[in-house]
Amino acid sequence: MSKQTVRDVNVAGKRVLVRVDFNVPLEHGVVVDDTRIQAALPTIRYLLDNGAAVILMSHLGRPKGKSSFDLRMDPVAARLSKLLGRQVQKLDDCIGPQVQAVCRSLERGDVVLLENTRFHDEEKANDPDFAAQLAALGDLYVNDAFGTAHRAHASTEGIARAVRERGGAAVAGFLMEQELSFLGQAVDDPERPFVAIMGGAKISDKIGVIEQLLERCDRLLIGGGMANTFFKAMGFEMGDSLVEEDAVATAAALLEQGKSRLVLPVDAVIADAFENDAHMRVVAPDQVPAGWRVLDIGPNTLKTFESALGGARTVVWNGPLGVFEMPAFAKGTLAVAKLLAGLDATTIVGGGDSVAAVRQSGLMDQFTHVSTGGGASLELLEGKTLPGVAALSDW
Ligand code: ADP
Ligand code: MG
């Protein structure tokens, strides 16, 4: 990786500012899923073990630039305290004289968590003055918040520049490093055959990713709602299926670009209503009757996908292959998760819903890499530079 990481800097006796992604779901003031907190532990522990004092910062929810009682970081600090087995002091703001005083007095092994950075409008506006105030709280900066690295905000981008402008280092944490190396490598220099699988609702969300992957992969398998728009471009009637009329021309262009590398479903599970207990049938993609809709890939498509995945050394998957939220239409997605889990290949899954589906399959730990960042992972797969990464110190 071209960016420095926590391993490249001396942190002993330093006050280290760490941007983490603690944007976790809360219910009644309690953290209900601490996956993201757990994901940041290796970096935090490393810093503490190496003699740093740690100043953590994150956004939480969408407070729209005002402080909001329900989006304070207190429940997060409580959970982190428990996970780390040491006291984590939560401060009542992320800038200002009191915060400065506490940060100045920190000693090796201390951990503080600043208040929700999005209580200030200046965070999302990437206000340079606000970023400089955050930067002034510590000696060096670590970004371990991959999930927000595609946003140029004060705590992700501005702060890194501010720290570097005064001669300090701004480096990647372990989670960030892992995400960049797996997703970056898959796009830049994949071990081949490289097979990509794309699904989800819409082509329009993911045109850039499809184009990029089509250029680089050996095969691109398409499923989910987006396959319908490809079929429409081939002249098929898709009944009541989700079709993006606006994207039909794009789909036609992608068909032309992809040619033999594109693998489309050969059959589909259709239903007469968007309901789990609707009547279901399996038909060829050009046999969808009026009033019916495609909600999953069919059994022959699975066989086609299985052989297209044969011998693959790298697989990147984004987007569920059916409406997996309903058990009746989750079969295709779960079967593909199982196929990937059984491969002798580097398997990478990204995207909020795709990761939820993999979690649902119980096969999460059989994937090489499950990305923690939805939008950020797509932008990286699209070949874009993430502002939060670009701002870090180069090697
Ligand atoms: P990700 O979050 O992994 O990037 P998307 O948000 O693009 O994935 O797509 C996920 C959504 O796509 C799910 O809500 C799923 O129900 C929907 N979907 C998948 N297949 C179909 C289909 N055939 N018709 C309608 N929606 C679909
Ligand atoms: Mg999604």
- What confidence tens digit (pLDDT) does each residue in 71-115 have? 999 999 999 999 999 999 999 999 999 999 999 999 999 999 999
Percent residues over pLDDT 70 in the chain = 100
Domain count, the chain: 2
Q: Are 197 and 342 members of one domain?
A: yes
Q: Which distant-in-sequence residues (6+ apart) come within 8 Å of 252 by Cβ?
A: 233
Which whole number is the average pLDDT over 351-370? 94
User: Is 375 one of the annotated active-site residues of the chain?
Assistant: yes
Q: Are 319 and 297 members of one domain?
A: yes
Checking if the pLDDT of 320 tops 90, the result is yes
Q: Are 206 and 111 members of one domain?
A: no
Q: Are 222 and 356 members of one domain?
A: yes
Closest-CA residue, ligand 1 atom 7, reads 200
On the CB side of 291, CA atoms within 13 Å amount to 4
User: Is 36 one of the annotated active-site residues of the chain?
Assistant: yes
Q: Rounded CA gap, 241 and 365, in Å?
A: 34
Ion ligand 2 neighbours, Cβ < 5 Å: 352-353
Whole-structure pTM value: 0.89
Ligand 2 centroid, distance to 202 Cα (angstroms): 10
Pocket test for ligand 1, best of 198, 316, 318, 323 (most atoms within 8 A of CB): 323
Q: Are 169 and 393 in contact (CB under 8 A)?
A: yes
Q: Are 55 and 80 members of one domain?
A: yes
Bond preceding residue 42 cis, omega within 30 of 0: no
> In degrees rounded to 5, what are phi and psi of residue 206?
-130, 20
Q: 395 lies in a domain?
A: no
Q: Are 300 and 278 in contact (CB under 8 A)?
A: no
User: Is 311 one of the annotated active-site residues of the chain?
Assistant: no
Q: What is the pLDDT of residue 144?
A: 98
Which whole number is the average pLDDT over 143-149? 96
Q: What is the pLDDT of residue 186?
A: 87
Which of 51, 375, 383, 384 does the annotation list as catalytic?
375
CATH of the domain at 233: 3.40.50.1260
**Average pLDDT over the chain, rounded to whole?**
96
Q: Are 47 and 160 members of one domain?
A: yes
Element (DSSP H or E) covering residue 195 = strand 194-198
Range of the domain at 305: 190-381
Q: What is the pLDDT of residue 192?
A: 97
Given pLDDT bands bounded at 50, 70 and 90, which one contains residue 205? confident
Ligand 2 centroid, distance to 354 Cα (angstroms): 7
Checking if the pLDDT of 358 tops 80, the result is yes
Given pLDDT bands bounded at 50, 70 and 90, which one contains residue 187? confident
Q: What is the pLDDT of residue 374?
A: 84
Ligand 2 centroid, distance to 353 Cα (angstroms): 5
Last residue of a domain, one of 177, 208, 228: 177
Q: Are 238 and 160 members of one domain?
A: no
Q: Are 162 and 216 members of one domain?
A: no
User: Is 383 one of the annotated active-site residues of the chain?
Assistant: no
Q: Are 35 and 113 members of one domain?
A: yes
Q: Are 201 and 107 members of one domain?
A: no
Q: 208 lies in a domain?
A: yes
Q: Which tens digits make up the pLDDT trace of 206-241?
A: 999 999 999 999 999 999 999 999 999 999 999 999
Q: 242 lies in a domain?
A: yes
